[in-house]
Copies of this chain bind each other. A is one copy, B any other.
Amino acid sequence: MTNPVLVEVLRGGLVESAHRGALAVFDADRQSVWEVGDTTRPVFPRSAVKAIQALPLVESGAADAYGFGDRELALACASHNGEAAHTELARSMLVRAGLSETALECGAHWPSYQAATVALARTGAAPTGLHNNCSGKHAGFICVCCHAGVDHRGYIGAGHKLQEMVREAMEDVTGAAHGPGNRGTDGCSIPTYAVPLKNLAIGFAKMATGQGLSTGRAKAAKRLFAACMAEPFYVAGTGRADTALMQAAPGRIFVKVGAEGVYCAAVPELGLGIALKCDDGAGRAAEVAISEVLASLFIKDEALAARLTELANPVLTNWNGMTVGSSRPTAVLSWIGR
């Protein structure tokens, strides 16, 4: 099936580009609440499932052993900008385990946030693994190994004990099998497994409610979500949609972007999990789409819905600051009339 257009990008009043995709909203009882497009095709969730991948960090006792609070847990679930606050915190997580950034196996890249790249370049330094947007997740992985007395080296490999723990959590939460047949390698070198959107939505409903999870896992999931919602800057950073969305409704919205146009999210008070993917992998469209979906779900809260609608309709300005266009969600993402 051909997925519908979810988001349009306008210039001068004309539609310049358009983004297709699919959306799944489910509850923890596996009941479909809202589906758009094909929600059964496996998609790589990429970084959108970092909160699930961080479950072993809490469940193993490593987070407590190393004294991690909300910020560290948020960073373990983050795709951060590589701003100084992010890299310093990632470094401190490794230091608490007696290690340094040389233990990171995620690879180095210049910060995702241009201002952070410029700031780093001006110091004359080059980026390390700490600047990788996944460094908090990797620091968490390494801490799990250290706390469990497992050699952390090679922790990015599909056959490493750490990845087995992550895979077990992913399969339990999503209910989807994870194996060589649906495996790819992520940008940060860990395995990523393609899973249907509906399974991801159900998984995030389970994470938010604890339903269908063991008591320990349910507690760990709630702690991770609470940490991200309490410290949204550490999940993304300056100017980022994830940070803005979680700041718009403290404690009421969990969102996490994934590369290639993915979002996973949850609304704990409604008991709902959300997963969406833009077919073309466009992050700009995924941000508009998740904002509009959340605006629809919070339609009865006028002030919050208005803020979310604002985030769902960004204005495009050019290098002179002139307004030259905008992005907008299409009617298939509107709850009105449903």
Contact = CB atoms under 8 A, between A and B. Distances in A.
Interface of A: 2, 9, 11-14, 16-20, 42-44, 105-110, 114, 117-118, 121-122, 124, 132, 182-189, 192, 194, 260-261, 278-282, 285, 318-322, 324-325
17 contacts: A2-B2, A9-B260, A11-B185, A12-B44, A12-B183, A14-B184, A17-B260, A19-B280, A107-B320, A117-B121, A121-B122, A186-B324, A187-B318, A188-B318, A189-B320, A280-B285, A281-B282
Contact of A189 (B114, B183, B260, B318): B318
Contacts of A12: 44, 182-185, 192, 194
Nearest to A115: B110
A209 B92 CA distance: 64
A107 B14 contact: no
Given A14-B44, A16-B43, A260-B16, A107 B279 contact: no
A55 to B, nearest CB: 23
Nearest to A41: B15
A110 B114 CA distance: 9
Contacts of A183: 12
A107 B184 contact: no
Contact of A280 (B11, B117, B282): B282
Nearest to A11: B184
Nearest to A323: B185
8 A-B pairs with least C-beta separation: A12-B184, A107-B319, A17-B281, A121-B121, A11-B184, A280-B280, A107-B320, A185-B324
Contacts of A110: 114, 118
A88 B184 CA distance: 44
Given A16-B194, A122-B122, A281-B282, 20 more contacts: A2-B2, A9-B260, A9-B281, A11-B192, A12-B182, A14-B44, A16-B260, A16-B281, A17-B261, A20-B20, A105-B320, A114-B117, A185-B318, A186-B324, A187-B318, A188-B318, A189-B318, A279-B280, A280-B282, A280-B285
A183 to B, nearest CB: 5
B132 A319 contact: yes
A185 B325 CA distance: 8
A105 B187 CA distance: 38
A213 B17 CA distance: 31
